[in-house]
Amino acid sequence: MSEPGVPERADDLELPCGEVIHPSAFDLGMREFDCACGETHAVVMDVHPLARFVPEFLVDTLRRTITTDDDFDAFGTPHAMAMVREEFPDKVASADCSTDGTVGYALLWVAEFDARRLHSIVVELLLELMEHAISHTENDALAAEFEQYMYEFDLDEFVELYRNEREFETEHDTAI
């Protein structure tokens, strides 16, 4: 029950490893969480841009090819994380903190695996999704561009380079 003038606080979140923690322990700049269980868990928030995982041109292509029928205007991080949860239902915990004014984000995901593994998974799922979507468009130029991209694509190398580059550019991603 919320009292007038007192912000509602989100509930505690049970992580996939079994640790229970309040979402306020995660701040906006956080990408990984060193857990009491001894593991490092990937942390994602709805305010993190999709460009955290893939380059802008892929984000643009996704937005042009994937239609969303939910409250979000365009394909973004929440959709990508929904795909990860679908693939690994027991390995990603999520919290809706939209009524909690103290945390600075609305949605939070914490994975059992680390940020690098999550990055690989997200990239793989997004590319699969795009491949599927592009095969259903009549846009030959886009299909050719994507095919060429996939031909030269190496997942591990991509994740490695992308993470280094982002790290170098800015410590914290900017919100959309």
Which residues of this protein are in contact with Zn ion, per CB under 5 A?
17, 19, 35, 37, 39
Return the number of the residue (50 or 84) whose C-beta is nearest Zn ion: 84
Return the number of the residue (17 or 83) whose C-beta is nearest Zn ion: 17
Smallest gap from Cβ 168 to Zn ion, in A, equals: 29
Return the number of the residue (15 or 121) whose C-beta is nearest Zn ion: 15
Smallest gap from Cβ 14 to Zn ion, in A, equals: 10
The owner of tokens 């999704």 is 129
Helix axes 56-65, 140-151, angle to 10 degrees: 140
Return the number of the residue (36 or 161) whose C-beta is nearest Zn ion: 36
The owner of tokens 């991603």 is 173
Beta bridge partners of 20: 14
Cα–Cα distance measured from residue 67 to residue 26, given in angstroms and rounded to the nearest whole number: 31
Return the number of the residue (54 or 110) whose C-beta is nearest Zn ion: 110
Smallest gap from Cβ 79 to Zn ion, in A, equals: 25
DSSP 8-state secondary structure symbol assigned to residue 89: T
What residue number has its CB nearest to Zn ion? 35
| Whether the Cβ atoms of residue 155 and residue 120 lie closer than 8 Å to each other | yes
| Whether the Cβ atoms of residue 107 and residue 97 lie closer than 8 Å to each other | yes
Smallest gap from Cβ 35 to Zn ion, in A, equals: 3
Smallest gap from Cβ 71 to Zn ion, in A, equals: 30
SS3 20: strand
